[in-house]
Structure 1
Amino acid sequence: MNIATTTITQVQHELLCACPSCGSAELSGIYAQDDVPVSSCLLFENATAAAAVERGDIRLTHCAGCGFIFNAAFRAGASEYSERYEETQGFSPTFSRFHTRLAQELIDTHDLNGKEILEVGCGKGEFLLLLSHLGGNNCLGVDPSALPDRIKDAPGAERVTLIRDFFTPDMADRAFDAIICKMTLEHIIDTLDFLSVIREAVTEGSQPLVFFQIPNAMRILTDAAFEDIYYEHCSYFTDGSLVRLFEKAGFTPLRVLHQYEDQYLTIECTVGEPTAAMGPALVADDDRAEIASLAAVLAQRLAGRQAEWAQKIAAAAEAGKKVVMWGSGSKAVAFLSSLPAPQLIDAVVDINPNKQGSAMPGSGHDIIAPSELIGIDPDLVIVMNAAYCTEIMEDLASMGIAAQVVAL
């Protein structure tokens, strides 16, 4: 997770009646889910505290005007982003390789060597460390969940400054060569206002690379990926709605890419007329009709896939099999929230040592280390993210566990 300042205020349970990205009132409800945890990555000491997590409702709404999808029941400020928020994926070798490769590609493509870089919503600062270490860049990161002490001894930390706060334009006290914002915009309900804040932070006369990374909502629409729908993610973008938003906010989109097994969208922009080195401005395809068609049947398809997983788990439990989940992040919270009998899951595993010993928000499941599976000897391991299947199967084999592994 990463988060930055928001400006919309909402009365609890009041639904938004205008699109936060384009202002259109041509809205349609496409999916509803009640009483879900509003904070999926908080660390709770025990099951009682975890079960008492604040809850909220999801009312996914489609805007015909721009194709944007958002949770119209979202309450800004309900989710907690603090030192208790543990979102890092960096303990996974698979993710670390992707992260390092992404940082190097940005450095090489945009000549980010010895430059000034700002990251809004920097989390624990892992990506800035890579940009500093690999490119010798001076980096400023802003995030209310930042923990400067965690990175102080890491390579590149001497050029990284973290501010534990929400971002405001006055923090951009110099001209930056790149403004980065990864896995943050999906947490912002007032999307146009937020991008306007970022635009305001651009020093007059400068032309920085503006790089955003977010989840790819097309995967939810095409695969009925219900595990990617949870409270903190109030904003869902496809290529077209993302480009239209950035154009409306005063940016010049350059390219949109699909990454990490099609799970992420990245958009690269600048301000003003792009230089020859940047290439031409992007002319995006109009995907609004396709998105509207997929959105119209989303609820039915999500319900069918949720029922399939509930039946699979119930059948395994009835046969006396032990079922565990691997991954305790937001996908896991969404998955457990969809199950009629979450107690049939015997354990939730996570390789992040900072999460082990805590309890899952909502369900209260203990989060255990992989080594504890030896004592459980599971029959079925449900992997929350297919990108990690290979490394998880290798870990299981090293422990002598011959469980069936299936991924969402």
Structure 2
Amino acid sequence: MLVYSTVILMGIITPLLSILYDPSKPYMVSQRRTIQHTAPNDHLRILVCIKDKQHLSGIVNLLHVSYPTVQNPFAINVFYHVELIGRGNPLFIEHQYQELGELVTRFPDWETIHHALCLFQEGREDCVDLEFFSASTARITMYQNVCNLALKSNTVIIILPLEKKIDGGLAAAEQWGGGNQSVIIQVLENAPCSVGLLVDKAEQRQVLQQPSHHNFIVLFLGGPDSREALSYSGRMATNPNVSLTVLRFLVLNGEGDDQLQKKLDDGVVTLFWVQNERNERVSYTELVVRNGADTIAAILEAAKERYYDMWIVGRKQGINPGLLEGLSTWTENQQELGIIGDYVSSADSVNADSVLVIQKQVMIGKASNTSTGGSTLSSLRRRTLSRR
């Protein structure tokens, strides 16, 4: 009777808990925490997650080109995460109030990470606030630490670094776990703010020491993620050492467009162009395509015309399915990066130092839009806006 009652009780409680308890609920907020809705003179609050010192050069270079100034200050939280293996106790350390002490052996890269970020802050104390955190927890609970810290620090974007493997794939599974238990997927689904996935494609990279010129490109396919990517790029465009190219993709005759999303896209693009109309380092081009093959053809053409140090693209929310028609079987990591983000990150024909894939904050009651489809190559119609 005890065995039967236990089985029946567990059979009732387990599904009941899954119905009544939503683990993502604590991280879902009603206020907007995005770059797009952050005032220019307000602190841009960034949470940088690091699992390996190899990610440092890409992270520091991204912060360099993001161009913190007194008018556009940054508040950066650096979160060094070490996977807990064995029976040790989980740790969470806020370095403003607690030092590592004897625990330094559990955080082997801490001194290197701290030194690199402090060098970045040197000379920018008036526009860059730095705080350091460390945690040693099991991989399955890492996303909870990330989302909790983002929630409490009012972060507007979380930066998660990834690496490109030698065979052209991504080292996501090795660094952050694979499948539905991937830390990346969990953060994307539960983050209380926007998320940026930084894919490092450079085999060897040095941290920027002296000002050098960079060429960046934004692939604007429409939707909330693309609008957030354009907003972040707009901040980079204020950097005198950055040239920015924006390619906006439109479906022929507007087939499949969500009219509300289209109006929102038009508003953000218009505002961006008004702000950068006299900026000779910014160019904006509209491409009219018929299907996914046209979209890829335009991307490859852009890659041939010019070398871009960084490609910036929205993840997948709100993209017109016609832009991705026939591309759903082309990529392997689209769950994390979206179809276009994964293609640009993995394709050897798209040369770049890095790729930044951005997901805008998913508000309460709103789900991400996905798109799929199928294919033939057609002609492109190009329209470029000239400066008045």
Q: Greater share of helix residues, 1 or 2?
A: 2
What's the TM-score once normalised by structure 1's chain length? 0.25
What's the TM-score once normalised by structure 2's chain length? 0.26
